[in-house]
């Protein structure tokens, strides 16, 4: 499905000619694998980007969507957008686990099933991938390791042999160039430079996306013809 492009600002940056991406791009790596860095890099390439998307309209406005619910709902999104491209983000477990423990330490109270303030789609996405409501210690290192490896295996098996899928470690030299080539935004100059991703949202910083100002950002809660409706699919239809 061809992305529909919308004007989001009258600033000189927004007035630049917008690159054409033939299909949606979904970043399906787990949280703390570099989703913010990838999202910002794609913004800088001129794409409209939603870091998290909880409405149909957010998905329709964005050329690229990352984080929740993409990491849990990639199979359903593959059915809804059969021409989309999917990008898995890999990160060494010895770095990902403590980073994820830090994130959950801040987020769990807001992911509470009944009283948490986060969006229901985000809660459902985290529950699906991390079983946060089923365990006394969802941030246990052994549990997180199993969650990561299970997600990685399921993604690998689902996309096996597909040419609309790529796995990246964004810390590797030239990873940004590799992504741009995959989604069709490469040119001889970027290929020669072997571009790298910006290092954002590292350490204890979990708010870089909110702090980053750019006219091409798409709100996770964007309202459209169906107001703030989400898709009607159920995860159980595929996963159970």
Read out DSSP for the chain? -PPPP-----SHHHHSPPPP-SS-EEE-PPTTSSHHHHHHHHHHTT--EEES--SHHHHHH-SEEESTTHHHHHHHHHHH-TT-EEEEE---HHHHHHHHHHHHHHHGGGG-TTT--S-HHHHHHHHHHH-TTT-S-TT-HHHHHHHHHHHHHHHHHHTTT-SSEEEE-TTSTTHHHHHHHHHT---HHHHHHT------S-TT---HHHH---TTB--TT--BTTBT------THHHH-
Alpha-carbon distance of 196 to 133, in angstroms, equals 37
Instruction: Map tokens 């809804």 to a residue.
Output: 80
Of residues 23, 27, 51, 45, the one with CA closest to residue 122: 51
Alpha-carbon distance of 122 to 120, in angstroms, equals 5
pLDDT at residue number 72? 98
Q: Tell me which residues of the chain have a pLDDT lower than 50.
A: 1-16, 188, 190-192, 237-240
pLDDT at residue number 236? 66
Would residue 174 be called left, alpha or beta, if left means φ above 0 and alpha means ψ between -120 and 50 degrees?
left
pLDDT at residue number 194? 66
pLDDT at residue number 127? 98
């Amino acid at each position: 499905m061809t992305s529909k492009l919308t004007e989001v600002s009258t600033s000189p940056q927004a007035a630049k000619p917008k690159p054409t991406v033939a299909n949606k791009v979904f970043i399906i790596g787990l949280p703390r694998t570099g989703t913010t860095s990838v999202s910002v890099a794609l913004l800088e390439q001129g794409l409209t980007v939603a870091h998290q998307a909880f409405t149909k309209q957010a998905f329709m406005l964005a050329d690229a969507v990352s984080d929740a619910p993409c990491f849990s709902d990639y199979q359903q999104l593959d059915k809804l957008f059969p021409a989309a491209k999917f990008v898995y983000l890999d990160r060494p477990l010895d770095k990902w686990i403590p980073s994820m423990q830090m994130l959950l330490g801040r987020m769990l109270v807001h992911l509470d099933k009944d009283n948490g303030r986060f969006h229901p789609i985000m809660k459902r996405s985290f529950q699906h991938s991390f079983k946060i409501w089923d365990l006394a210690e969802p941030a246990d290192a052994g549990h997180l390791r199993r969650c990561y490896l299970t997600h990685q295996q399921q993604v690998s098996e689902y996309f096996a042999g597909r040419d609309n899928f790529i796995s990246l470690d964004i810390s590797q030299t030239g990873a940004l160039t590799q992504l741009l080539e995959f989604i069709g935004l490469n040119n001889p100059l970027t290929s020669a430079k072997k571009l790298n991703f910006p290092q954002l949202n590292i350490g204890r910083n979990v708010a870089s996306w909110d702090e980053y100002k750019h006219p091409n950002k798409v709100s996770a809660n964007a309202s459209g013809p169906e107001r703030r409706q989400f898709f009607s699919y159920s995860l159980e239809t595929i996963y159970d």
